[in-house]
Structure 1
Amino acid sequence: MLYKLEVENFFSIRDPQVLDLTVDGKVPDPEGRYAPIFEGADVRAPKVVALYGANASGKTTVLRALEFVATMIRDSVARTVPGFAGIERFNDVESAYRPIRFAIELGGIMNLTPEVFQRAMSGEKVEQGTYRYELEIELKEGLAVRIGSEALRQKPNGQGKWQRVYERNAEGKVKDSKTFSLSGFQHLVKTLAGNHTVLSSFAKFQHPTAQLLVDTARKAFFQIEPVHSFVDRDVIDYLKNQPNVVSRLRDELSRIDVGVEGMRFQHTDNGPLLLFKHAGLAVEMPWLMESHGTRAFIKMFPFIMSALDMGGIAAIDEMDAAIHPNMLPELVRWFYAASGRNKFNAQLWLSSHSASLLDDLNKEEIVICEKDRQGRSHLYSLMDVKVRRDENHYRKYLSGAYGGVPHLG
Structure 2
Amino acid sequence: MVAANLVAQDKKFDENNVFKVDDHLKLLKSAAIYGANASGKSNLAKALNFMRWFMVNSSKETQSTEKISVERFQLSTETEAKPSFFEIVFLMNGKRYRYGFEATLEKVVSEWLFYVPKIKETRLFERKLDKIRVSKTFQADGIQQRTRHNALFLSVSAQFNVKIAEKILDWLTNSINVVSGLDDTGYRGYTVSCLINNKNKDKIIELIKKLDLGFGDVEVEEIEVSPDSLPRELPDEIKNFFFKNGVQKVQSVQTMHRKFDEKENTVDTVFFDLEEQESEGTQKVFALAGPLVDTLKNGKVLIIDELDARIHPLISRAIVELFNSNETNSNNAQLIFMTHDTNLLSNQLFRKDQIWFTEKKRYGATDLYSLAEYNVPNDAPFKSDYIKGKYGAIPYIGNLNHLIDSDA
2:252 equivalent to 1:273? yes
- 2:129 maps to 170
1:209 Cα offset (Å): 1.2
Letter in 2 for 1:155: V
- 1:180 maps to 138
Superposition pairs of residues 221-370 of structure 1, within 5 angstroms: 221-224=177-180, 226-227=182-183, 231=186, 234-235=189-190, 238-239=193-194, 241-268=196-223, 269=225, 271-280=250-259, 282-288=269-275, 289-338=277-326, 340-359=327-346, 360-370=349-359
**Maintained 8 Å contact 1:60/1:224:** no
Indicate how the Cα distance of structure 1 residues 78 and 341 shifts in structure 2: closer, same or farther if over 3 A, else same: farther
2:361 equivalent to 1:372? yes
Within 2, Cα distance between the matches of 1:236 and 1:348? 18
- 2:113 maps to 152
Instruction: Provide the TM-score with structure 2 as the length reference.
Output: 0.80
In structure 1, list runs of 5 or more residues that go unmatched. Answer: 4-20, 110-127, 139-143
Within 1, Cα distance between the matches of 2:192 and 2:208? 19
- 1:104 maps to 88
Within 1, Cα distance between the matches of 2:76 and 2:371? 32
**Maintained 8 Å contact 1:166/1:174:** yes
In structure 2, list runs of 5 or more residues that go unmatched. Answer: 226-248, 260-267, 399-408
- Post-superposition CA distance 1:325-377 (Å, at most 9, x none): 11111111111243x23232221110000001011222110110011233221
**Maintained 8 Å contact 2:188/2:287:** no
Instruction: Provide the TM-score with structure 1 as the length reference.
Output: 0.80
- Post-superposition CA distance 1:92-149 (Å, at most 9, x none): 362331110022223344xxxxxxxxxxxxxxxxxx55322121112xxxxx111111
Within 1, Cα distance between the matches of 2:192 and 2:101? 34
Letter in 2 for 1:182: A
Q: Residue 279 of structure 1 aligns to a residue in which SS?
A: strand
Calculate percent identity across the aligned residue pairs. 26
1:242 Cα offset (Å): 3.4
- Post-superposition CA distance 1:173-213 (Å, at most 9, x none): 32222321225xx1x32111233222222222221111111
Within 2, Cα distance between the matches of 1:43 and 1:228? 34
- Post-superposition CA distance 1:206-238 (Å, at most 9, x none): 211111111221211011361165x58745763
Letter in 2 for 1:398: I
2:197 equivalent to 1:214? no
2:122 equivalent to 1:191? no
Indicate how the Cα distance of structure 1 residues 242 and 194 shifts in structure 2: closer, same or farther if over 3 A, else same: farther
Within 2, Cα distance between the matches of 1:216 and 1:373? 38
- 1:84 maps to 68
Within 1, Cα distance between the matches of 2:215 and 2:81? 54
Indicate how the Cα distance of structure 1 residues 80 and 104 shifts in structure 2: closer, same or farther if over 3 A, else same: closer
1:382 Cα offset (Å): 1.0
User: Which structure is larger by alpha-carbon Rg, 1 or 2?
Assistant: 2
Within 2, Cα distance between the matches of 1:266 and 1:43? 46
1:67 Cα offset (Å): 2.0
**Maintained 8 Å contact 1:150/1:169:** yes
- How many residues align structurally? 356
Within 2, Cα distance between the matches of 1:181 and 1:25? 42
Indicate how the Cα distance of structure 1 residues 208 and 26 shifts in structure 2: closer, same or farther if over 3 A, else same: same
1:156 Cα offset (Å): 4.6
Letter in 1 for 2:5: D
Indicate how the Cα distance of structure 1 residues 174 and 242 shifts in structure 2: closer, same or farther if over 3 A, else same: farther
**Maintained 8 Å contact 2:359/2:392:** yes
- Post-superposition CA distance 1:39-79 (Å, at most 9, x none): x2332121111110011111111122222222222333332
Question: Pairwise CA RMSD of aligned residues?
Answer: 2.4
